[in-house]
Structure 1
Amino acid sequence: MHLQNITIVGGGACGISAFIELFLQLRIADSHRKVSITIIEENSEVGRGLAFGTREQGHILNTQADLMGIHVSEPQHFSEWLIRHDDRVGDEVVDNQGKNEAFTTRRLYGDYLAEQFQHYFRLAQDEGMQTEVIHASALAVTRLGDGFSISLSGNKTHKCDILLLAPGTPVGNKYPELEKRSHYFSAPWPSEPILDRIPKDADVAIIGSSLSAIDALMTLTDNGYTGQIHCYSLDGQLPRVQPEKQEMPERQFLTLKNLHEIQRTQLRNPTVKEVLRLFMQEAEHYAGGKIDWKATKRDHKTAGELLKDDIQIAENGGDALINIPYSLRYDSSQMWKWLDADEKLRFKKWLGSYWASHRHCMPLVNARRVLDLFEKGQLNIIPKMEGVEYDEHEDAFKIEFDGGKTAFEKYLINATGPASAVEHMKSELMQNLLKSKLIDPDPVGGIKINTETMQVISGDQVSPNFYAVGHITNGVLLDVNAVWFNVKTIGNLCRHLTAQIIGKAS
Structure 2
Amino acid sequence: MEVFDIAIIGFGASGVGLLNEIQNEVFTKRHLKSNIAIFNNQNSFAKGKAFGDASPVHIVNTPPELMSPSVVEPTGFWHWLREQKTMDSKWPTRGTFAKYLESVYKDIQAAELLNIHEFQQDLLSLEYVNGSFELALKNEELVKAREVVLCMGALNSSNFSDLEELSGFINHYTQYNQPVNGPILIAGTGLTAVDAFKHIDRSKDAKAKMFSRNGLAPTCLSEKHQYVPKYLTWRSLIRESQLSPLKAFKKLLLKEHNSLKNESEFKTANQLLRAGKQKEYFRYLEDRASNADLPWQDVLVSTRYWFHKFWKAMSITEKHEFISSFGSLWAAWRHPIPMSSFVQLGSAVGEGRLEFCMSTSKPTYENGVFRVSTTGGTLESRILWDGTGGSPIINNSRSPLLKQLINEGYVEPHPCGGIFINPKTFEISSSRKEVNGLYCIGPLNKGVLFSTNAFWFNAQCSEKWAYQWAKRVEAREGEHRVVVS
SS of the equivalent of 2:389 reads: coil
> Is 1:229 the equivalent of 2:202?
no
1:388 aligns with 2:363: yes
Q: Is the 8 A contact 1:23 1:32 kept in 2?
A: no
Aligned to 1:120: 108
Alignment correspondent of 2:149 = 164
The answer to whether the 8 Å contact 2:228/2:298 transfers is no
Question: Closer, same or farther in 2 for the Cα pair 1:463/1:281, shift >3 Å?
Answer: farther
Of residues 232, 242, 247, the one that matches 1:254 is: 232
Q: Distance in 2 between matches of 1:19 and 1:220?
A: 36
Check if 1:440 corresponds to 2:399.
no
| Pairs within 5 Å for 1:200-219 | 203-219=183-199
CA distance in 2: counterparts of 1:232 and 1:121, whole angstroms: 46
C-alpha distance in 1 between matches for 2:390 and 2:337: 17
Aligned residues of 2:215 and 2:359 also touching (Cα < 8 A)? yes
Partner of 1:238: 217
Quote the residue 1:99 is aligned against.
none
Name the aligned partner's letter for residue 455 of structure 2: V
1:455–1:467 Cα contact (<8 Å) kept: yes
**Which of 490-499 and 253-262 deviates more?**
253-262
Aligned match of 2:99: 111
1:133 Cα deviation from its structure 2 partner: 1.4
How far did 1:424 drift? 4.1
Alpha-carbon distance in 1 for matches of 2:142, 2:159: 30
Partner of 1:282: 256
Provide, for residues 145-170 of structure 1, a one-character-per-residue CA deviation record: whole Å limited to 9, x for no partner: 32222233344433221110111122
- Cα 1:72/1:304, change in 2 over 3 Å: same
Distance 1:275 1:300 in 2: 29
Q: Which amino acid aligns with 1:333?
A: H
Structure 1 residues 303 and 31: alpha-carbon distance in aligned structure 2, compared to 1, 3 A threshold: farther
Amino acid at match of 2:238: H
Distance apart, 1:463 and its partner CA: 4.0
- What corresponds to 1:326 in structure 2? 301
Structure 2: gaps spanning 5 or more residues: 479-485
| 1:288 Cα offset (Å) | 8.1
1:491 aligned to which of 450, 453, 463: 463
Q: Aligned partners of 1:199, 1:256: CA distance in 2, in Å?
A: 49
Q: Distance in 2 between matches of 1:2 and 1:503?
A: 21
2:472 to 500, 503, 506: 500
**Aligned with residue 371 of structure 2, among 385, 398, 415:** 398
Task: Please give the alpha-carbon distance, in whole angstroms, between the structure 1 residues aligned to 2:292 and 2:193.
Answer: 25
Corresponding residue number in structure 1 for 2:176:
194
Show the 5 A alignment for 1:291-302.
Answer: 296=270, 298-302=273-277
How far 1:23 sits from its partner (Å)? 2.2
Contact 1:207 1:414 in 2 (8 A): yes
Sort the Cα spacing of 1:364 and 1:291 in 2 relative to 1 into closer, same or farther, 3 A: closer
The question of 1:409 aligning with 2:381 is answered yes
Q: 1:450 to 1:318 in 2, by over 3 A?
A: farther
Question: Alignment RMSD, CA only?
Answer: 2.5
8 Å CA contact 1:202–1:226 kept in 2: the answer is no
Mapped to 1, the partners of 2:268 and 2:220 lie a distance apart of 20
Cα drift, residue 332 of structure 1:
0.9
User: Identity of counterpart residues, as a percentage?
Assistant: 23
Secondary structure of the residue that 2:72 maps to in structure 1? coil
Preserved contact between residue 8 and residue 38 of structure 2 (Cα < 8 Å): yes
The one-letter code matched in structure 2 to 1:400 is S
State how far apart, in whole Å, the 1-side matches of 2:160 and 2:386 are: 9
Give 1:328 deviation, angstroms. 1.1
Cα deviation for residue 284 of structure 1 reads 4.2
Equivalent pair of 1:455/1:462 in contact (CA under 8 Å): no
d(CA) in 2 for partners of 1:282 and 1:85?
A: 43
Secondary structure in 2 matching 1:476? helix
Contact 1:243 1:314 in 2 (8 A): yes
Deviation of the 1:295 alpha carbon: 7.3
The match for 1:374 among 349, 361, 380 is: 349
Check whether the contact 1:251–1:282 (CA below 8 A) recurs between aligned residues.
yes
Within 1, Cα distance between the matches of 2:101 and 2:264?
45
How far 1:448 sits from its partner (Å)? 0.9
1:24 matches 2:14? no
Equivalent residue in structure 2 for 1:314, among 285, 289, 307: 289
Q: For the residues of structure 1 that align with 2:144 and 2:36, how far apart are their CA atoms?
A: 12
- 1:11 equivalent in alignment to 2:11: yes
How far off is 1:73 after superposition? 3.5
Aligned-partner Cα distance in 2 for 1:324–1:429: 40
Matching residue of 1:183: 168
Alpha carbons of structure 1 residues 54 and 307: separation in structure 2 relative to 1, 3 Å: farther
CA deviation after TM superposition for structure 1 residue 171, in Å: 4.2
Query: Which residue matches 2:83?
Result: 84
CA contact (8 A) 1:200 1:225 kept: no
Whether 1:145 aligns to 2:130 is yes
Query: In the alignment, what sits opposite 1:73?
Result: 72
Q: 1:74 to 1:130 in 2, by over 3 A?
A: closer
Q: C-alpha separation between the residues in 2 aligned to 1:482 and 1:356?
A: 14
Maintained 8 Å contact 2:409/2:432: no
User: Which consecutive residues of structure 1, in runs of 5 or more, have no partner in the other structure?
Assistant: 95-101
1:117 positional shift:
0.8
State the distance in 2 between where 1:227 and 1:356 align: 26
1:36 aligned partner: 35
**8 Å CA contact retained: 1:474, 1:480:** yes
For residues 347-404 of structure 1, give each alpha carbon's deviation from its aligned partner in whole angstroms, at most 9, with x where no partner exists: 100111101111100000011111111122111222124112331xx2222323339x
Aligned equivalents of 1:280, 1:487: Cα separation in 2? 33
How far apart, in 1, do the equivalents of 2:206 and 2:218 lie? 23
